[in-house]
Structure 1
Amino acid sequence: MESIGVFAIAVFTGFIAINNPVGNVPIFLSLTRQADRPTRKMISKKATFTAFVIVAGFIFLGKYIFDFFGLTIPAFKITGGILVFFVGFEMIRAQVSSIDNQQEINFNEGISISPLGIPILAGPGTIVTAMNFTTTATYLELGIILVMFAVVMWLNYLAFLSSEYLVKYIGANKIVVVEKIMGLIIAIIGVNMLIQGINIAFLE
């Protein structure tokens, strides 16, 4: 059971790093600044549920996708590692102004599906991370991956509901700092995936 616990922690850490709730708060506020509180609650629920369904599909169909297209684990880990690294790299180098100085947009509840549901919550980095965990997973581990992602989506939902209070009490600058730290962790995860892929392909 200890190995299962370690696996669960690793999965949770991977998901929370690439899809951290606090880092998503400024984006959520930017997209919903014209909405009232009940509408924001509805959008939060729709966005997190949409992301959960999309990633759950990849979690359970990942192995079949691999078989159908003839993909290999080393190739996926190497490619996925590169993609995840660049997601983290972009988070590190992103400027605050890209969020705070957006032009006014016409408010549309459809943002709960896109861009909030996908690609912000269920973006390439999240999907690659999920599929990386599923490549050699047992059915029990698949269940753990699903539960861990559900927990992360629940935390995002709570963060969205508390977004105004988080910015008020934590401060916008500190939220940006958290996002930079998460970006560094994501970049490291990407490099680790790349090294694993190279090891499997050439050294094992």
Structure 2
Amino acid sequence: MGMEMDMYGRLITIFLGFFAITNPIPNTAVFAGLTRKVDKAERYRIAVKSTLIAFGVVVFFSLLGKTLFHLLGITLPALRITGGILVFIIGYQMLQGYNSTSHSEDDGDTDIAVSPIAVPILVGPGTIATAMNYSASEGSMGAIMTISMYALLGLITFFCFIFSARVVAIIGGNGLKIITQLMGLILAVIGIQLLIAGIYEVVTMTGDL
């Protein structure tokens, strides 16, 4: 029973971490703005393509996180400390009402489903760091839980995109601001938690030497 509760708690933590850093509701407003000149069929195609690409990026880094660690000589505590700092900065910016630099809007001739919607709006540096942190800490089970929770979030994001005009109308400007700041607070706390965990592991490793 205790193990099941721990697993459910872990799943909730992973989901909330992704939800906060991906911030699907404000991103829905961005999606609505970027696709305001296209028809319904094209908007559906963009929603499908962008969420699938974002999911693929998260799966890649979740499965190959440990391999990248070994190839680049990166330790898990180092990733947790760096990821914690990055996530905290993004959360702090959201609390202050600024858009994160990892969620900027870029204009260009490329397919907007790829850029800027999939990358970096849905999957920025913070999302990648979060996926690698969660998946690398508990072996294959960690990767499965990480991918599953991001898949659930991707599904939610997809439906938000499909009904983006209605979602934006219901939430309103003030609602988007409140949600963004709430997600920023959650991110800041998660960032500090990752930072503490990383520092603790470094201290523990040093003490064992």
Per the normalisation by structure 1, the TM-score is 0.89
More contact order relative to length (CA 8 Å, sep ≥ 6): 1
State the distance in 1 between where 2:66 and 2:168 align: 40
| 8 Å CA contact retained: 1:84, 1:186 | yes
Taking a change above 3 Å as real, the CA distance of residues 107 and 35 of structure 1, as seen in their structure-2 partners, is farther
1:171 alignment partner, SS class: helix
Q: Identify the residue that residue 156 of structure 1 maps to in structure 2.
A: 157
- Identical-residue share of aligned pairs (%): 38
Q: What amino acid is the match of 2:77?
A: P
What is the distance in 2 between the residues matched to 1:93 and 1:185?
13
2:91 to 71, 88, 91: 88
Correspondence list, 1:70-81, <5 A:
70-81=73-84
Question: Unmatched 5+ residue regions in structure 2?
Answer: 100-104
Query: For 1:109 and 1:69, how far apart are their aligned partners in 2?
Result: 31
Q: Structure 1 residue 199 and structure 2 residue 200: aligned?
A: yes
| Residue 55 (structure 1) aligned to one of 58, 71, 82 | 58
Which letter does structure 2 place at the counterpart of 1:69? L
Match of 1:13 in 2: 16
Partner of 1:32: 35
Match status 1:141 vs 2:142: yes
Q: How many residues are paired up?
A: 197
- Contact kept in structure 2, 1:32 and 1:107, CA below 8 Å: no
Query: Which residue matches 2:45?
Result: 42
| Structure 1, unaligned runs of 5 or more | 97-101
Task: Give the deviation of 1:106 after TM superposition.
Answer: 7.8
The aligned residue for residue 186 of structure 1 is 187
Task: Confirm or deny: 8 A CA contact 2:97 2:177 kept in the other structure.
Answer: no
Deviations 1:169-192 (A, max 9, x none): 221220121011101111111111
1:89-142 Cα deviation digits (max 9, x unpaired): 22222358xxxxx9xx98967010011101111111110100110222232231
Distance in 2 separating the partners of 1:194 and 1:140: 22
Could you tell me how far apart the structure 1 residues matched to 2:190 and 2:141 are?
23
Alpha carbons of structure 1 residues 106 and 122: separation in structure 2 relative to 1, 3 Å: closer
Residue 120 and residue 106 in structure 1: after superposition, are their counterparts in 2 closer, same or farther (change >3 A)?
Answer: closer
Q: Using structure 2 for the length normalisation, give the TM-score.
A: 0.87
CA contact 1:89–1:184 (8 Å) conserved in 2: yes
